[in-house]
Structure 1
Amino acid sequence: MLGLAKRVGARILLTSTSEVYGDPLVHPQPESYWGNVNPIGVRSCYDEGKRVAETLMFDYHRQHGIEIRIARIFNTYGPRMNIDDGRVVSNFIAQALRGEALTVQKPGTQTRSFCYVSDMVEGLMRLMEGDQTGPINIGNPGEFTMVELAETVKELMKPDVEIKMVENTPDDPRQRKPDISKAKEVLGWEPKVKLREGLPLMEEDFRLRLGVLKK
């Protein structure tokens, strides 16, 4: 893709990830933080793949003058996600609608920040249309533990559903929260949709596709 951008003189956007920060020792995570990543862990191919993609973007930018934009995306959710993609919001909503227990990976105190898709798209468009190369964090600084997320889904969608603790995967980051000072300053962007507003919109879409009527 970088070779193509070089040939045709295109501006290119890399949707990088908060995973480049690994299991962070700095909280919240600013773009200046280099991260704490295990390069040989069971899930490190994703982290390291995104990190090397950022490296290549800047190499092409420096050597060939390619116009690059890098967004470090934090957890995003919303309608039209794959119902069984394994992401935590999809899992909880699908489980609640199917009447299954919400499976929270231990210890349940690990945190994530969830950005609604319309806010994410707005941030990406502002980055792509502006003059900043990035990297710029695009995410919602609202921070929730996995237990808090499960409790919120339970309250909004199925109050009688059970919450069950299950074993976690290795190297699961304990904290994740974007410092969006740079996005506010150079893009004039910050998210507008709160989690409790976005979850019902995603629930409505999942209900339609799962064929689960609202009682």
Structure 2
Amino acid sequence: MNRCAVFMDGGYIDSIHKGLGSPQIDFVQLIERTTEDCQLLRVYYYNCLPYQTQNPSPAEKSLVSSKQRFFAAVSKLPYFTVREGKLAYRGQDKDGHPILEQKRVDVMLATDLVMHSTKHLITHAILIAGDSDFIPAVEIAKNEGVSIHLFSVGGVSARPHDELIMACDRHTILAKEEYLSFERQSGIKSC
């Protein structure tokens, strides 16, 4: 029997949502669509909290609180696990805006993909991500006999790196309309 795990890069999903007007997507429906023929082992969602200054403003506090509620709600979904990285401050750009960098998120995703593959816990991996940094982990998983299926959303600027697409066994582009059909009318609000 095919067993799969889903590896979702929350930063990549945030970029998709920004390009689509911040819809509230039902992640359970999305996972059902991406794992049609597999017995689901687990869904891993990787992201980090928004940046806060040392003396956070009410707006910063509200944004962090909202994201914490979202992470808590996602972790309560069946088979979902939230893996939280850190957002590191790297200075300011020429316009005085903070330069921020996600830390640990990509490494956690890659480590989980490799661990599940080398322990033969899965036969298939569903990847919802876009970063070419995942290619070494994808190659290890494939060498262990795991089929890698990359999902992305068409019609948005956030698209997977071409080298990541080539490294995966399959790439399915969900039409923007199909992705938006997973929009929730109530319940968990994606950030």
TM-score scaled by structure 1?
Answer: 0.26
Which structure has the bigger radius of gyration? 1
TM-score of the pair, normalised by structure 2: 0.29
Structure in which a larger fraction of residues adopt strand: 2
Q: Identify the structure with the greater helix proportion.
A: 1
